[in-house]
Structure 1
Amino acid sequence: MRSVFVFLRGTTEEEIAAYLDGAYPAQREPWLATSADDPCLYINFYRGGPRELGPEGWTDLVRRFGGEPSAGVMADVSGRHPGDEQVFDFVTSLLAIFSGSAQDEYTEHLWSLDELRSGQLVSGHPFFDYSGWYAESEADA
C-alpha cells in the first residue's frame, strides 16, 4: 500500500476527528475516502512516528517540521485505485483547515499547502508521484 502522512501543529486529535467525521462520514477509524463507492483511502491517526522512524529519524522529522507535531494523520491508498485525486483532496483539505505539512513515501520533503496547490516539484517530481518515481527507478535499473 502507498501512504501519505500529514503532520499538524496547534490542534488536537479530537478537533481533527471532528473534521474527518464531517468529511468522511461513512466510517470512523479508519475513515474512508471512496472512488465509485469503493474504499480508496483508509485514513487513521498516525501515532507510530518515533517507533517506526527510530530515534534519529524522528529527531530529523521534528527538526524539519520545526517542532514536534501535535498530531499526525495518515492515509493508506488502496491498490485497487490510483488515488491521485483522493490523496490531493484529502491532504489539501486537511492543510487548508489545520497548520502543518504533508509527506509522501518518496522524499523526506515536508510539503506545504502552497507547494501542493502550485504543483511544486522536488527532485523533479510532484507530491505523491508514485508512477514517476517507479518509471525513474526502472530507467535506472
Structure 2
Amino acid sequence: MFPAGERAETVASLDRHLPEQSDPWTLDGSFYVDIDNEQTGCLFSDWDPEDVAILEAAIGHHPAWAVQIDISGRIDGTAEVHQMIALLLEHGGVATDDYTTHPWILPEILSGAVIDGLRFFDFRGYHELSRRPGRS
C-alpha cells in the first residue's frame, strides 16, 4: 500500500492503532504490517517494470517506501485488510494486491468495484478465475 503523505505520519498512525508491537506491527499474531523501503529493503524487487510504471502513473511519482501487509494462512484476513486500508488511505494513496496490477483507491475498495473480473484482495475470485479452462 502506498499512502499519501509522509512516512512518519504512517508510522505514527500504525503506532496508535496497533500499539501491541511495532516495526513490524502485528495484530493477533496473524496479521503483520511492515514498511518496505526501496533503498534498504525489497520494494519493487519482484515487480515487472510495466507494473511499476502503472503505479507511478496512478500516484504521480515513483514512491520510495510502501506499507506491506502479510497475513497468516490461519485467518481469512479480508476484514483486517479492509480496516487497515481504510485507516492508511483515508487521506489518499493507492493499494496493490497480489491478484491484479490495478492500483486501487479507497473508494474503489470500499464500494467493491470490480476491475478485470476481481475486487481488491479477491483471493477467492482469483482462484476461481485461475481454475477456468484457458486461464493460467
Q: TM-score range by the shorter chain?
A: 0.7 to 0.9
Give the corresponding residue for 2:129: 136
Give a deviation string over 1:77-129, Cα, whole Å, max 9, x none: 11111101001111111111x32001111111011111111110111221101
SS of the equivalent of 1:121 reads coil
C-alpha root-mean-square deviation of aligned residues, in Å? 1.9
Instruction: Quote the offset at 1:18 in angstroms.
Output: 0.7
Rounded Cα–Cα distance in structure 1 between residues aligned with 2:11 and 2:122:
27
Task: Report which structure shows greater RCO (CA 8 Å, sep ≥6).
Answer: 1
- Return the structure number with greater helix share: 1
Write the mapping of 1:1-141 to structure 2, written as runs, cut at 5 A.
Answer: 6-9=1-4, 11-34=5-28, 39-47=29-37, 48-53=42-47, 57-69=51-63, 71-96=65-90, 98-140=91-133
Rounded Cα–Cα distance in structure 1 between residues aligned with 2:53 and 2:117:
26
Percentage identity across aligned positions? Answer: 32
Q: Size of the alignment, in residue pairs?
A: 130
5+ residue gaps in structure 1?
Answer: 1-5
Instruction: Quote the offset at 1:70 in angstroms.
Output: 5.5
Q: Is the 8 A contact 2:32 2:69 kept in 1?
A: yes
